[in-house]
Structure 1
Amino acid sequence: MNLILVAVISLGAIGLIAAVILFVASKKFAVYEDPRIAQVAEVLPQANCGGCGYPGCSGFAAACVKAGSLEGKLCPVGGQPTMEKVAGILGLEATASEPKVAVVRCNGTCANRPKLTQYDGVRSCVVANSTYGGETGCTFGCLGCGDCVSACQFDAIHMNPETGLPEVDESKCTACGACSKACPRNIIEIRPKGKNNRRVYVQCVNKDKGAVARKACTAACIGCGKCVKVCPFEAITLENNLAYIDPAKCKSCRKCETECPQNAIIAVNFPPRKAKPADAAPAAQAASAAPKAAQPVAEPKKETVEVKAAEAPKEAPKTEA
């Protein structure tokens, strides 16, 4: 009985000493956390998508509290309303940020980029990109396995079975960048939506020389540089046989779009162009050259012509010899 009592007392003493040590250690090595971090984290959507540039919503909340300014910070999922709530908690001003959207910079549809081989393996763009060049002659374009679709948490991107390319639903896209990170060929770019949701960009990432790129895809950028020369705002640069439009400098004049011989420059959400006078003249000529049989023809008026009978020649008067 004494042995049991000694054991119980010994264990109790050890536990008490350990508790005291842990208490002292917790007080001495305690890390202070601003309570506002938890408050900011509560108003965030908790998507943990990483689109803000920080590891999750808690990391973004800590960065907002420690920074002392919300300039350059944006929660892509919550948008401006969420940032206004964050600003209200921290007593700061929520700077307006330009909304962005994911853009697929590849126009290698089944018609523009015919398949040369057939991939029979794991349906993953990462695996396909690391094992071979793809089913087409373009080694830069979309592989079509849908890694971007799987990475999107907001059901904002889907594969089009007719074109074989991903399509972004602008109404659902939060510009979190998950699809861009999932693409091994970097064909998805997060770009500003632009004024009135209009934007111009080069829908190609092929860096091959012109002849090689055109052979692989009929809509590929061939690096001719015509768009660079025609741009009045110096918004287009040409590097590694590929043109790129800087969204910060582009004024959406669309001169580059009409100058591109490959139609590789895309203008989104713009109204249709008005027909030029030079284009209207051939149309008028074509209309005038149409067969006139289709138009009702007025019957010619019948005119009555009176023809007088020719009078017989009068006989000459006879003279007597």
Structure 2
Amino acid sequence: MSTPILILMVLTSLGVFFGFLLAYSNKKFSIEVNPLIHIVEDVLPKGQCGACGYAGCMAYAEAVVLNPDVAPNLCSPGKDAVAKLVAELTGKAAAPMEPQIAQVQCAGTHDKAKRSYAYTGVEDCVAANLLFGGPKSCKYGCLGLGTCVKSCPFDAMTMSPEGLPVIDPEKCTSCGKCVSVCPKQVISLMPVGARVRVNCNSKDKGAVAKKACSVACIGCSLCMRQCPYEAIKMGNNLAIVDAKICEEKCSDAVCLSKCPTKAIRPFVTGIVPGTENEASTTLACASCAK
């Protein structure tokens, strides 16, 4: 018998032997998976965004089925509809989920925010941030290189010609992926029914902030003093709005007219921050009143 044929026979025999060995091991040591896990996974949106705190939809499905302490309403992209389905399948109670949407806390467009230097590196905010905090004079502002847009698993963000991302309210699931990837922490989640938003993230004092960006919050606290419901506080030279108080109590947002730099604007979705106008104000108030 020739050597090549002998080698072929040996290899075939080894292949058959190890094939049977693997099949036996698979059957012998297999772990039965609760079929409910796959049923729950099927109702999840499959965005694999990690908003639930688990590494993907399968991991969350396994946790919510097997662990009685895991809530059925952790999937923010699925909203109330998915939460109710998961609760029904697992026999748990699902607390109501407040609809939220991502917002960009920066109105520093190309014509409003100054630049410290010309950046020609990798088109990535994280990479640019490693180089002296990025090219913007304001070290707290959006760098405009689209890392959030690229990371959005639901295609809910686009880059505008003005250099800021725009969130599509129809597609945004409030998964928080854009929030976690932004090196400047300039993106946050807001209740859909919010009345106003602060289009600034700067923690600098007024003079420094205004020098870097013409629409920066200068920490003057006029908005806070004018708000009759104490919905606005100041923290690190920046106005912070309690959206819940504002939504429930405010019928006339006087803070909008008092802000000298127009850093506080009506909460209007689907537009470039800072482009809100009086027509938008009417639209926002009418929407919130519904």
TM-score (normalised: structure 2): 0.77
Tell me the residue number matched to 1:232.
Answer: 228
Q: Does the 8 Å CA contact 2:195/2:284 hold for their aligned counterparts?
A: no
Q: Secondary structure at the match of 2:243?
A: coil
* Shift of residue 159, structure 1, vs aligned partner: 0.8
- C-alpha distance in 1 between matches for 2:199 and 2:31: 50
**Paired amino acid for 1:258:** S
Q: CA deviation at 1:273?
A: 9.7
Q: Which has the larger radius of gyration?
A: 1
Pairing of 1:117-128 with structure 2 (within 5 A):
117-128=117-128
Does the alignment pair 1:134 with 2:134?
yes
Distance in 2 between residues matched to 1:223 and 1:260, nearest whole Å: 10
- Which sections of structure 2, spanning at least 5 residues, go unmatched? 1-13, 269-280, 286-290
| Mapping for residues 47-86 of structure 1, pairs under 5 Å | 47-68=47-68, 73-86=73-86
Q: CA deviation at 1:260?
A: 1.5
Question: Structure 1: 5+ residue runs without aligned partners?
Answer: 1-10, 275-321
Structure 1 residues 84-121: Cα deviation after superposition (integer angstroms, max 9, x where no partner): 22222123344321111110000001221133421111
**Partners of 2:45 and 2:151 in 1: CA distance:** 18
Aligned length: 260
For 1:247 and 1:62, how far apart are their aligned partners in 2?
34
Q: Residues 142 and 187 of structure 1 are in contact (CA less than 8 Å); yes or no, is this contact kept in structure 2?
A: yes
SS of the aligned residue for 1:219 comes to: coil
For residue 206 of structure 1, the aligned residue among 190, 202, 205 is 202
Q: Which residue of 1 aligns with 2:237?
A: 241
Shift of 1:131: 1.1
- Aligned partner of 1:313 in structure 2 is none
Displacement of 1:228 in angstroms is 1.9
Contact 1:221 1:242 in 2 (8 A): yes
Shift of 1:153: 1.8
Question: C-alpha distance in 1, partners of 2:139/2:82?
Answer: 41
Q: Say if 1:72 and 1:97, in contact at 8 Å, map to a contact too.
A: no
Superposition RMSD in Å: 3.2
C-alpha distance in 2 between matches for 1:226 and 1:234: 12
For residue 22 of structure 1, report the CA deviation from its aligned partner. 5.5
- The alignment status of 1:216 with 2:227, answered yes or no, reads no
What is the Cα deviation at residue 232 of structure 1? 2.8
Distance 1:116-1:58 versus aligned 2 partners, 3 A rule: same
> Against the structure 1 CA distance between its residues 93 and 260, is the aligned structure 2 distance closer, same or farther, given a 3 Å change threshold?
same
Tell me the TM-score normalized by structure 1.
Answer: 0.70
Asked whether the 8 Å contact 1:70–1:95 carries over to 2, the reply is: no
State how far apart, in whole Å, the 1-side matches of 2:133 and 2:93 are: 49
Alignment partner, residue 177 of structure 2: 178
Q: Distance in 1 between matches of 2:181 and 2:26?
A: 46
Amino acid at match of 1:248: K
CA distances 1:167-211 after superposition (whole Å, capped 9, x unpaired): 1111111111111112110111012111xxx43121101011110
* Percent of aligned positions that are identical: 42
